[in-house]
Amino acid sequence: MRVLEIILFVANTLSLFSLIIPLPGNFYWVQYSIPITLTIFIVQILREGSRWQLMPLYTLTVCLFAVWLFHTVLPDAIHVNGFIKGIAIMLGFLSILLSLVLAIALPVFQFPRPGGSYGIGTITYHWVDMSRQEIFTREQNDHREIMAQVWYPTKIDSSGTNAPYIQDAELLSSTLANLLHLPKFIFSHFKYVRSNAILSAPIAEDESSYPVLIFSSGLDGFRASNTFQVEELVSQGYIVVGIDQPGASAIVRFPDGRQISGWQRDDIQPLIRQSIDPQPEAPELYGKVLADGIIPYFSQDLSFTLGQLIMFNENDPQHILTGRLDLNHVGTFGVSLGGINVAEACLDDLRLKACLIMDAPIPANVVDAGLQQPSMIITRDADTMRLEHERAGGWTEYDIQQHQTTMRSLYEGLVSDGYYLQISEIFHVNFTDFPYWLPIASQIGLTGSINAQRGFDIINAYTVAFFDKHLKNQSSPLLNGASKLYPEVNFEIRHP
C-alpha cells in the first residue's frame, strides 16, 4: 500500500479504539483523533488519489467525523445505548478489514528495481505503414497503424518523471476488465502504477549504440504487458521496442483519439488457428479470405517496426535514438500470440538475428521451413498445462498437444543454436506482469504454484543470457546445461 493509505488505516483504527478504551487525562489529544483522521483522508485523496478498494475505509472516515461533529456541537442531543454503539464499532472494524483485504489483493504495485547497471528511459511513437491496408476496419482506405513504445538505457541516476506503467490506463484498464468479464472499475487503480522508466531521459553515453529487441504481446495484451522483462533487458544494455497491434492488442488509441478495439476472441481464434493448423475452408475477415490465417499479417508489424527504426536511427524526431540503435544486432521476443508472431517474423525477416518464443504454438509454415536464427523456447510441460486447465480453464487437450508438438518440432529442426526450457509449476499468465496485478492469483488457481517473483527471475535470467550470447557475443554458463541455480528448469540445448 501507499504511504498515506497506511497512515489512514492506522488513524481510523486508533479512532475506533479511542471509542472503546477509556484513556487517561494526559491523552486528551485523542479527542481530536477523528478530525485528524479526516485531514489525513483529504490529504491522501489529493496527493495519492482515491481508489475503489478503500471505499469502506473512506466511508468509515466520513461517518466517524459526522458523529464526532454532531456530538461536539450537540453533546446531549442523542444518547446511544451500548448495544448499538458496539454494533457500530464492529462495523467500523469490518470496514477497515474489508478495505485492507481489497487493497492487498489488488494493490497499487511497484516494479522492483532491475538488476543491470543502467537506468531506463522511454518514449512513444505513432507509426503508419502506407504500404499496407488496415484489415481490422471496414474502411478500404485505412492504412496499418501501430503505437510503439521504446525503452532505452540511461544513466542509473537519471532524474525526471517516472512514466506510467500503462499510457491511457483508464481506457485500457476498463477494456481488460471487460475482456475478463469483471466490473469496469476493477483495474482502475492502474492509473497510479508507475514504471522505473523516466520519460524522455537522455540515453546513456557508455556505448555508441545498443542492440535492439522488438517485443510482441499476447492476444488482448498491450505493449507494456511484460514490463518485468523489458526493464531488466534495458538495464542490461538493450533498447526494447514494444508495439500495440490493432486486432491483437486489447485496444489501441492513436494520438488523434481514434481507437481500434481488440477482436473478439471467438472471432479471431479461427484466424490464428488457420496459421497453425491450416484447413481447406479458410476463414474470412470482412469478406477477405485468409488462406494463411492472420499471423503473416501480424508478423509484418515487426518487420515494419524494424524499418521504422532504421529511419529513426538516421533522424529521430525526438532527438534521442539518432545513431544509437545497433541495427546489426536485432532480436525479437514475444509471449503467446506474440510468440507466434515472432516465429513467423523470424522466418520471413533474416535481419532479426535472435528469436525468443515464450509459451506459444508455432505456425505450420515455420515448423516446415525451420528457423535460421539462434532460437530459445521457454514454456512448461503438458501436465502443467492440464493442471492449469483444471484450475483456470482455457486449454483443450487439442490445444495442449498442438502447443507441445509444434514447439518441439521447431526446436528439433533448428539449424542454429537452440534452447528448449520447461519451467515447472508455471502457468501461462506467469509469463506476463499479471501476478503483480493480483498477488493472490496463485492461491485462487489463476497462476502457477511457483513463486511469482521467482518465475520472473528465471525468465529474465535466461532471456538476458540468450540475447547476450547471440547479440553481444557474451557467453553465459546458464546456456551450457542444467543449472543448480534454477532447478525448476528442464533445460535442453542443441548445436548445429
Q: Which CATH number fits domain 119-494: 1.20.1730.10, 3.40.50.720, 3.40.50.1820, 3.60.20.10?
A: 3.40.50.1820
Cβ atoms of residues 492 and 411 within 8 Å: yes
The position carrying cell 507466434 is: 340
How many Cα neighbours within 13 Å face the side chain of 256? 4
Rounded mean pLDDT, 469-487: 95
List the end-to-end C-alpha distance of the chain, in Å, as a whole number. 51
pLDDT of residue 84: 76
**Grid coordinates representing 68?**
464526532
Q: What residue spans define the domains of the chain? A: 3-105, 119-494
**Selected residue with higher pLDDT from 74 and 59:** 59
Rounded mean pLDDT, 105-124: 96
Cβ atoms of residues 252 and 483 within 8 Å: no
Helix axes 265-276, 295-314, angle to 10 degrees: 90
Amino acid at 480: N
pLDDT at 93 over 90: yes
DSSP category for residue 471: H
If you write DSSP's letter for every residue of 297-357 in order, what string do you get? HHHHHHHHHHHHHHHHHH--TTSSSTTTEEEEEEEEEEETHHHHHHHHHHHH-TT--EEEE
pLDDT of residue 392: 87
Q: pLDDT for 402-452, tens place per residue?
A: 999 999 999 999 999 999 999 999 999 999 999 999 999 999 999 999 999
How many Cα neighbours within 13 Å face the side chain of 333? 27
Share of the chain above pLDDT 90, in %: 84
| CA distances for 242 relative to 85, 213, 218, 222, angstroms | 56, 9, 12, 8
pLDDT of residue 157: 86
Highest mean pLDDT among 14-28, 263-277, 463-477: 463-477
pLDDT at 389 over 60: yes
Share of the chain above pLDDT 70, in %: 96
| Radius of gyration over every alpha carbon of the chain, rounded to an integer in angstroms | 26
Residue 48 C-alpha from the chain's centroid: 22
Rounded mean pLDDT, 378-404: 93
Q: CA 334 to CA 59: how far, in whole Å?
A: 44
pLDDT of residue 295: 97
pLDDT of residue 280: 92
